[in-house]
């Protein structure tokens, strides 16, 4: 069973992680989000990737303006060649639907198969992320949420994605 939006808020509260949440109409793209999400943190985009053998999975969280070069990213991550994972894998591994991809999806990864990769520029930033649905946006500090991801057994990397 996947974590829900309200369960995520409760988890953040339990951990004492400060956040702000903004409800808005459903958004499917970064461009749509830019029109309705308040500017309260670094805007991000998220890419759910898999290697060519479907053995390694990566959730990459980057600055919106970052051009992520998939042809070379695998070298930095020490993996085989990467491509976008299917909707089925997104649902099966992270319990998410397209348009709602978020770093918080790794909290649904009970098998700990997905590595969470953050852009180096997000290391100490306040950033935005969906709370498992695309009808709201959370604003959180990286330094506050990083221990939560690590406590859940998620492998977290910071990487220069440019």
* Number of structural domains the chain divides into: 1
Q: What is the extent of the structural domain holding 64?
A: 5-159
Chain segment 4-31, per-residue pLDDT in tens: 999 999 999 999 999 999 998 888 878 8
Q: Between the CA atoms of 113, 99, 63 and 5, what dihedral angle is there, to the nearest 10 degrees?
A: -70
How far is 20 from 1, CA to CA, in rounded Å?
25
**pLDDT, tens digit (0-9, with 9 covering 90-100), for 72-91:** 999 999 999 999 999 999 99
Cα separation, 56 vs 109, whole angstroms: 13
Of 157, 131, 153, which is closest to residue 59 (Cα–Cα)? 157
Band (pLDDT 50/70/90 cuts) for residue 1 is low
* CATH number of residue 58's parent domain: 3.90.960.10
pLDDT in tens, 27-54: 887 887 877 776 777 889 999 999 999 8
């Amino acid at each position: 069973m996947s974590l829900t939006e309200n369960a995520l808020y409760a988890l953040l509260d339990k951990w004492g992680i400060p956040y702000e949440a903004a409800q808005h109409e459903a958004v499917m793209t970064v461009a749509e989000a830019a029109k309705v999400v308040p500017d309260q943190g670094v805007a991000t985009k998220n890419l759910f990737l898999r290697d060519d053998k479907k053995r390694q999975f990566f959730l990459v969280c980057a600055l919106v303006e970052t051009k992520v070069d998939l042809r070379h990213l695998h070298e930095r991550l020490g993996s085989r060649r990467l491509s976008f994972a299917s909707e089925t894998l997104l649902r099966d591994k992270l319990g998410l639907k397209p348009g709602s991809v978020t770093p918080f999806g790794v909290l649904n990864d009970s098998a700990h198969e997905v590595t969470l990769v953050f852009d180096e520029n997000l290391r100490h930033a306040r950033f935005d992320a969906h709370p498992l649905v695309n009808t709201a946006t959370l604003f959180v500090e990286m330094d506050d949420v990083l221990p939560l991801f690590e406590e859940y057994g998620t492998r977290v990397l910071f990487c220069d994605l440019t």
